[in-house]
Structure 1
Amino acid sequence: MLRIPAALVALSLLTAGGARGETTVQPVQVGQPAQVAATYGDYARASLEGYIRPAMGRFATDAARLPDAVQGACVDGDDSAREEFRAVYGATLASFARISFLRFGPLAEGNRLERLAFMPDARGVAQRQVRKILADRDPTAATAEQLAGKSVAVQGLTALQLVAFDDAGAVMLGGQGEDAGFACAYSLAIATNVATIAGELTRDWADPAGFSGELLGPGPERPRLKSEKEAAELIFNALVTGFVIVRDQDLLPALASGPDSAKPGRLPFARSGFTLAYLSAEIGGLAEALEAGGYERGLDSEGVWIPASLEFEFGNALKMLARLREPMRVTLAEPETHAGLSNVALVLKGLRDTVALNLAGSLNLSGGFNALDGD
């Protein structure tokens, strides 16, 4: 459906320390009808097998490297070990960004999403709670088992950013003294907790008797999904919500009314210098998920323009991000940078409307639902 240039889709992974090859689906030729019609069940299966399960597995693989990366930075304490931790942390963020919009099923259970990343956090709850843990050297935060029972704000990737990176984005792990030792123990507990949750997500999505069984086999007796159309709409509406998350939660609060009033601290992962990588991975993930769903096979004659339009706008958003530079905590105050990020927000609005209104209408899906506010 979409053929976003590989160099753009892989931007966040390159920033994080290495790109992976991506599997693409051959697009339908614009202006020609699809040869094989798809059912709503086909969309759900294609999304599950072509995107959801692989993306969850990728996240689990990257997150599994975090504990060793923390230990390496803490034990060796040299620049090479710290850079390795930075690369692994960045890769994990990028993989998480690609699943963060899938806010149903296993990710919605047990506060897993919030435990992995406490966002948005306009009131600075995580910072206050993490600082208190560090100041008190709270021993209950130094093991993954006990940390898992604490506030969701102190046990995920957002908390790890506060512990492992300083205000300038440098990795702080590996210092001397009791405070540094506790910071390492706390960081290792967070990393282990994140890896555990990521593994649970992969396991649960792979379980045919779990939520994926209901997604692929909905029916009147099921507790949540009564039909194939409901299953397809659940995934489709998660995609729509994904555009809202990136624009309304990640970008607009930070952009405010202009460069002079911008709040770069509100951008995701600005402290560690991974804002652009994270945003690129979020947008790239939405593009990949739309492609994997195979929605082009159900387009009516009035919707044949949609794949080319989406391809063009996704490419625009990723190109705009590629032209910006970190650290966004500094550069967002520059008029050109602020204008560039504002243009990304504008493109996201157009993408959301095309998917929620035009694509949904062509497929006869209820696509305008926003899970964040119920509209």
Structure 2
Amino acid sequence: MKHTVFALAAAVSLCANVARADMVDEILDDQILPAMQALAESGQDLADVAKTICRPGASPLRDAYAQAFDDWIRVSHLRFGPTETDNRAFALAFWPDSRGKTPKTLATHLREADPALLTPQRFAQSSIAGRGFYALEFMYFDQDFTSAKPHEYRCALTAAMARDIATNATAIHQEWQDSYANQMRTASGRYQNKTEVKQELYKSLNTGLQMLADMRLGRPLGSFDKPRPKRAEAWRSGRSQHHIVLALQALQPLAIALADGDQDLTVQLEAAFQKPILRAQRLEDPRLKGVADPAKRFRIEALQQEVNDLRALIESDLGPSLGVLAGFNSLDGD
């Protein structure tokens, strides 16, 4: 009888471990790895187009930029491992830029017009403020930069910026493929056990929701007396609302996968995500200018509240079901 009990206990333990392993495999194979591959491919497409087309308003250039930026937003909550190596995440996405370093850095580049800066090695060592999607947004959408002189150097600089994005995106994807995914599957390398792997994934979910509530929504909302519409993310290119939708749509399947088959929790999470997704899609406010309009502001405040309600549900129900805590994340400086 004793042996039977031990055998049953071992079988239950084995099944639980298989379920957890399947959850990690599902997240890696269905979400993270395909998304990182998409970013690498669209980053290279952007570099290829930017090498031959310089005019900021050209549709092929803007389309390539939009696709690569979309693919970054879909993985921007995964601030661990390969994205943190060599500060790749910051090199791709230096935002928020509270001190206005990006336009100052770009203006310096154009004024000095240093040919040496345009080499891949030198550009990779340059200020992060002048690299990545947000810096390129200035070059493509800000009137102070779209026709800046000297013209030839501006074209070469934007091509170097796009190439740098492609290089970092490819490096991130390569590291995920070559080693990091396997570390998460086997709880090896930086992970001591499966709980630490789950903690990492759960933390990235919280990072994404915190960024939505506090930065993508909180920064432009400011206060009722002092709204800050020009603190909205990527407002120059009219992508502020779009990024909120993309981020929510990327975070939802991660949360559902982390629920690991718990049907009641899955239903709760699906409903809790659907509310802010639908509200964000219906804002009809690409640059979030409505934060400065009392008649429209309440809709954005309601969206922020729904995101915070979602965070509360994940903290109160999903975290305990996984046996993990949110912990610190990259937005906290950890």
Q: Shared topology, TM-score over 0.5?
A: yes
Q: Deviations over 1:164-183 (max 9, x none)?
A: 21259xx93xx6x8522221
Q: Which residue of 2 aligns with 1:42?
A: 22
Task: Report the CA distance between 1:185 and its aligned residue.
Answer: 0.8
Which residue, out of 105, 109, 113, partners 1:137?
A: 113
Task: Report the CA distance between 1:336 and its aligned residue.
Answer: 3.8
- Residue 93 of structure 2 is aligned to residue 122 of structure 1: no
Task: Report the CA distance between 1:281 and its aligned residue.
Answer: 1.1
Which of the pair is proportionally richer in helix? 2
Task: Report the CA distance between 1:263 and its aligned residue.
Answer: 1.2
Task: Report the CA distance between 1:326 and its aligned residue.
Answer: 4.4
Q: How many residue pairs align between the two structures?
A: 318
Distance in 1 (CA, whole Å) between partners of 2:48 and 2:321 is: 48
Q: Which residue of 2 aligns with 1:21?
A: none
Q: Is the 8 A contact 1:55 1:98 kept in 2?
A: yes
Q: What letter matches 1:311 in structure 2?
A: E
- Percent identity of equivalent pairs: 26
Q: What letter matches 2:183 in structure 1?
A: E
Task: List gaps (5 residues or longer) in structure 1.
Answer: 1-35
Q: Deviations over 1:14-42 (max 9, x none)?
A: xxxxxxxxxxxxxxxxxxxxxx8664333
Write out aligned runs for 1:35-114 (5 A): 39-74=19-54, 77=55, 82-114=58-90
Q: What letter matches 2:111 in structure 1?
A: A
Q: 1:88 to 1:332 in 2, by over 3 A?
A: farther
Q: What letter matches 1:212 in structure 2?
A: A
Q: Which residue of 2 aligns with 1:22?
A: none
Task: List gaps (5 residues or longer) in structure 2.
Answer: 1-14
- Residue 181 of structure 2 is aligned to residue 215 of structure 1: no
Q: Is the 8 A contact 2:241 2:286 kept in 1?
A: no
Distance in 1 (CA, whole Å) between partners of 2:106 and 2:68 is: 21
Which residue, out of 214, 218, 224, partners 1:252?
A: 218
Matched residue SS, 1:65: helix
Q: Deviations over 1:197-218 (max 9, x none)?
A: 11111111111xx222221112
Distance in 1 (CA, whole Å) between partners of 2:278 and 2:46 is: 29
Task: Report the CA distance between 1:327 and its aligned residue.
Answer: 4.7
Q: What letter matches 2:268 in structure 1?
A: S
Task: Report the CA distance between 1:109 and its aligned residue.
Answer: 0.7
Distance in 1 (CA, whole Å) between partners of 2:295 and 2:273 is: 21
Q: Deviations over 1:194-238 (max 9, x none)?
A: 01111111111111xx2222211125xx4x211111112111111
Matched residue SS, 1:98: helix
- Residue 174 of structure 2 is aligned to residue 203 of structure 1: yes
Q: Which residue of 1 aligns with 2:6?
A: none
Which residue, out of 360, 366, 373, partners 2:324?
A: 366
Matched residue SS, 1:119: coil
- Residue 214 of structure 2 is aligned to residue 271 of structure 1: no
Q: Which residue of 2 aligns with 1:283?
A: 248
Which residue, out of 156, 175, 181, partners 1:185?
A: 156
Using CA pairs under 8 Å that are at least 6 residues apart, name the structure with larger relative contact order, 1 or 2.
1
Q: Which 4+ residue blocks in structure 1 deviate beyond 4 angstroms?
A: none
Distance in 1 (CA, whole Å) between partners of 2:131 and 2:56 is: 25
Q: Deviations over 1:245-292 (max 9, x none)?
A: 11112221210112x52112221111111112222111111012223x
Q: 1:114 to 1:218 in 2, by over 3 A?
A: same
- Residue 289 of structure 2 is aligned to residue 325 of structure 1: no
Matched residue SS, 2:64: helix
Matched residue SS, 2:84: helix
Task: Report the CA distance between 1:329 and its aligned residue.
Answer: 6.2
Q: Is the 8 A contact 2:216 2:240 kept in 1?
A: no
Q: Is the 8 A contact 1:41 1:232 kept in 2?
A: no
Q: Is the 8 A contact 1:62 1:92 kept in 2?
A: yes
Using structure 1 for the length normalisation, give the TM-score.
0.78
Distance in 1 (CA, whole Å) between partners of 2:247 and 2:45 is: 21
Distance in 2 (CA, whole Å) between partners of 1:321 and 1:338 is: 13
Q: Is the 8 A contact 1:41 1:231 kept in 2?
A: no
Distance in 2 (CA, whole Å) between partners of 1:78 and 1:40 is: 47
- Residue 252 of structure 2 is aligned to residue 296 of structure 1: no
Which residue, out of 188, 192, 200, partners 1:226?
A: 192
Which residue, out of 202, 205, 216, partners 1:239?
A: 205
CA RMSD in angstroms, aligned pairs only: 2.4
Which residue, out of 226, 239, 258, partners 1:261?
A: 226
Distance in 2 (CA, whole Å) between partners of 1:322 and 1:353 is: 22
